Amino acid sequence: MADISPIKVTHLHGPALHAPVDLVAFVSFGDPTKDPIFKSADQALGGVLADVARSESFEGKSGQSITVHTHGRIPARRVIVIGGGPRNEFANPNVRDLAATAAQIANKSGAVSVGFLLPQLGANREAGLVQMTAEGVHLGTYKFGRYMTGEEHKRPTSLKTFGVMTDLKGKKPTATQTKAFEAAVARGTTIAAAINHARNLINEPAAVVTPTALATEAQTIAKKHKGTVTTTILDVKKCTELGMGMFLAVGQGSDQEPRFIHMTYKPAKKPKKRICFIGKGVTFDSGGYSLKPSQSMEDMKVDMSGAAAVISAMDAIATIGSDYEIHAVAACCENLVSGRAYKLGDVLTSMDGTTVEINNTDAEGRLTLGDAITYVRTKIQPDEMFDFATLTGACMVALGPYTAGVMSDHESLLRGWMAMAERTGEDMWRLPLNVRLREQLKSQVADMRNTGDRFGGAITAGLFLKTFAKDTPWVHVDIAGPASLSSARPSQPKGGSGFAVATIVEYATR
Ligand code: BES
Ligand code: MN
Ligand code: ZN
């Protein structure tokens, strides 16, 4: 399955309202009667725009849009106005949802071509807005339709070209401007493809996306970037030799063999630093003998979203190129029940020698990540490492379903990471790694136990991981909420979101 729609994002110039397209789209920042672009469009259409805005209570708020038929007054058959919210609160990533909305309305109305007037927010923001527009088009037209058998799901969508107009008057761009435009579209398209690829991996059933399937994914990406990306896959034998007692215990109850994935991107020049991205790769989480109730288990194919993000991001990083040496690591396995499964009361020995008493087999993610972190810290020895994990329901209780919890005791690394998240528009919020909660992880029989009590569950999971990260600069991102969504927005349909891919790629390539 292709990861992006065949829609071409092009640069359109000439007067925006007279673009030779099926549908013209532009943004109104707040009250349309005060928006100069809205006013000139309304004039060209003989006042119908204002009429429709009034009758549909369109106030230019984000999430609102109106569609108007032009009846031959301009070349386009339809004009849509999309609410942008207050102009001074508008951040570049917001344009993703607006472009996605334009593409979706175009497809619904059978339009083949769109002319989208980029929000006029100053030359210094143009490249960023163009990139986010390209992302929005491809993210907003994403569908996971593989298992839909109805004819309507097979039909190709109508939209073929999404023209972006960077200037209202349609001034011809300079060669430099054209180059910047094309680079921004290429970047946005590459990132959206990686996000959609991660979405596919998350949305596929656990019966398809097994640990070995994820290993094959990694190898396919390495093959595509022969010369810069290599992949090493460690099987059970190799992981046993390395002493990954926690990771292997989680996977031992399943007939699906665990796989430990390690991808490496090497730049042509001597790298400035070595960065490692680690993803939780539990391809299905039943909870093990601490069995989840059916409702909580229903969506647990998504428990490999961290792995999907780091593996897919490598594809985009290698396409865009980076000055850094980048590693992606994922310890992949299934958490099931069987005669071989690990049990409550078991004491596991981790790769770094720490012994862990299991008081909950459903806290499996931290066990797989603990060994992955030790592997990274000792074998890769990065300057910085980040992990992405659908780790705790407690993080969703704390922050809601859209925001990831970020934990670190390395202030400058954390600030650098949060700055990138701000740029990509991925919702992340810091939680404190309060060491007083470590008390909860004390065991009577081993160095630690794997879960604490009900309070501060996202943080005790973070503190557990910190034990293995030791002094290597490290940031933990709990993506349990945003990895998969039960309510859609224009650029994110329900289901796997591909959360974290954008910020990982941004961090690795800027
Ligand atoms: N994979 C789950 C966390 C999760 C919950 C992800 C909801 C996505 C949506 C994780 O392995 C888990 O089961 N965590 C437990 C931890 C508890 C046993 C300490 C949880 O959150 O209940
Ligand atoms: Mn679990
Ligand atoms: Zn889990």
Catalytic residues: 292, 366
Q: For the chain, which domains are there?
A: 8-189 (3.40.220.10), 204-233+263-334+360-439+468-509 (3.40.630.10)
Alpha helices in 326-390 (DSSP H): 365-375
* Residue nearest atom 14 of ligand 1, based on CA coordinates: 392
Residues 451/363, Cβ–Cβ less than 8 Å: yes
* Residue nearest atom 13 of ligand 1, based on CA coordinates: 362
Which amino acid, 377?
R
> HSE (CB half, 13 Å, CA atoms) of 74?
28
For residue 342, the model assigns a pLDDT of 99
In testing the pocket of ligand 1, which one of 294, 364, 392 has its CB within 8 Å of the most ligand atoms? 392
Residues 173/21, Cβ–Cβ less than 8 Å: no
Q: How far is the CA of 287 from the centre of ligand 1 (A)?
A: 8
- Ligand 1 near 360 CB (within 6 A): yes
Residues 59 and 65: their CA atoms lie apart, in Å, by 9
Collapsed DSSP state (helix, strand, coil) of residue 456: coil
For residue 1, the model assigns a pLDDT of 54
* Residue nearest atom 17 of ligand 1, based on CA coordinates: 363
Q: How far is the CA of 309 from the centre of ligand 3 (A)?
A: 16
* Residue nearest atom 5 of ligand 1, based on CA coordinates: 393
- Ligand 1 near 364 CB (within 6 A): yes
Q: How far is the CA of 131 from the centre of ligand 3 (A)?
A: 34
Q: How far is the CA of 308 from the centre of ligand 1 (A)?
A: 18
Neighbour tally for 50: CB within 10 Å: 18
Place of tokens 């720490």: 354
- Ligand 1 near 14 CB (within 6 A): no
Taking alpha carbons only, the member of 166, 163, 160 closest to residue 124 is 166
Collapsed DSSP state (helix, strand, coil) of residue 418: helix
Which amino acid, 454?
R
For residue 3, the model assigns a pLDDT of 85
Instruction: Encode the chain (510 residues) as per-residue pLDDT tens digits.
Output: 578 889 999 999 999 999 999 999 999 999 999 998 999 999 999 999 999 999 999 999 999 999 999 999 999 999 999 999 999 999 999 999 999 999 999 999 999 999 999 999 999 999 999 999 999 999 999 999 999 999 888 888 999 999 999 998 889 999 999 999 999 999 999 999 999 999 999 999 999 999 999 999 999 999 999 999 999 999 999 999 999 999 999 999 999 999 999 999 999 999 999 999 999 999 999 999 999 999 999 999 999 999 999 999 999 999 999 999 999 999 999 999 999 999 999 999 999 999 999 999 999 999 999 999 999 999 999 999 999 999 999 999 999 999 999 999 999 999 999 999 999 999 999 999 999 999 999 999 999 999 999 899 999 999 999 999 999 999 999 999 999 999 999 999 999 999 999 999 999 999
Question: Quick check: pTM over 0.85?
Answer: yes
- Ligand closest to CA 283: 3
- Work out which ligand 1 atom sits closest to the CA atom of 302: 8
- Ligand 1 near 390 CB (within 6 A): yes
- Ligand 1 near 408 CB (within 6 A): no
For residue 152, the model assigns a pLDDT of 85
- Ligand 1 near 416 CB (within 6 A): no
- Ligand 1 near 451 CB (within 6 A): yes
- Work out which ligand 1 atom sits closest to the CA atom of 393: 21
- Work out which ligand 1 atom sits closest to the CA atom of 290: 18
- Ligand 1 near 480 CB (within 6 A): yes
- Ligand 1 near 478 CB (within 6 A): no
- Ligand 1 near 484 CB (within 6 A): no
Residues 152 and 89: their CA atoms lie apart, in Å, by 39
Residues 272/323, Cβ–Cβ less than 8 Å: yes
Q: What is the CA radius of gyration of the chain?
A: 24
For residue 172, the model assigns a pLDDT of 93
- Work out which ligand 1 atom sits closest to the CA atom of 452: 19
Cβ neighbours of residue 1 under 8 Å, at least 6 residues apart?
146, 200
Q: How far is the CA of 297 from the centre of ligand 1 (A)?
A: 10
Residues 431 and 141: their CA atoms lie apart, in Å, by 34
In testing the pocket of ligand 1, which one of 362, 388, 451 has its CB within 8 Å of the most ligand atoms? 362
Taking alpha carbons only, the member of 118, 100, 200 closest to residue 159 is 100
Residues 480 and 458: their CA atoms lie apart, in Å, by 10
In testing the pocket of ligand 1, which one of 304, 391, 448 has its CB within 8 Å of the most ligand atoms? 391
Q: Which two tokens stand for residue 472?
A: 């290597």
Q: Which two tokens stand for residue 169?
A: 């008057």
